[in-house]
Amino acid sequence: MNEHLPETLRAVEDELAALLRRGRALSWEIAREVHPNLEPNAYGLLLWLRRCGSIRLTDLAVRLGIGKGTLSRQIHGLEGLGLVRRDPDPDDRRAAQLSLTEEGTRRFDAARAARLGQMRRTMESWPRRDVEEFARLLHRFNETF
C-alpha cells in the first residue's frame, strides 16, 4: 500500500465533506426555487423522475436504495404540491407509474437551468478536458462507493 495513501484519503474526505456541506445548502436553495414548500431531499426524487420520464414506485425505491414506505410518503408530499402524479401502470393495474406533472416539469427545469448556469460560471475557466475528467471521476466514485 502506498505510504501516502492515508494522507491522500484524508484530503479526499475533507474535500468530500466540503462538497456535501455545499450540496446541502444548495439543495435547500434549489428546492425553494422549485416550490416554497419542497423539502430539500425531494429535489433528488424530481431529478430521477425527470430523467426516467415515468417509473414504478418500487423500481424508483430500488434505484434510490430506500424503502417503499418512505418513498411513498415523499411522493405523496410531491403529489400534494402538484409536482408529481400517479397513473395506473398499463402492465399491472395494481401498480402505478410516477411522473412529473407539467407544472413539476416546468418548475424543475427552471430550477435546474439556474443551477447549471451557476455550475457553468464556476467551471468556465476550467479546460474542457478537466470538466470531462471531473465528471468521469465523480461518476466512478458514485458507482463504486
Nearest to 84 by CA among 52, 110, 116: 52
Q: What percent of the chain has pLDDT over 70?
A: 97
For 88, phi then psi, to 5°, come to -60, 140
- Cell 422549485, residue? 34
2 confidence band (pLDDT: 50, 70, 90):
low
Q: What is the pLDDT of residue 130?
A: 97
The yes-or-no verdict on residue 100 having pLDDT over 80 is yes
Query: What does pTM read for this prediction?
Result: 0.77
CATH fold for domain 8-144: Arc Repressor Mutant, subunit A (1.10.10)
Residue-range domain boundaries for the chain: 8-144
Any bridge partners for residue 96, and if so which?
A: 88
Chain segment 72-96, per-residue pLDDT in tens: 999 999 999 999 999 988 888 788 8
The yes-or-no verdict on residue 1 having pLDDT over 60 is no
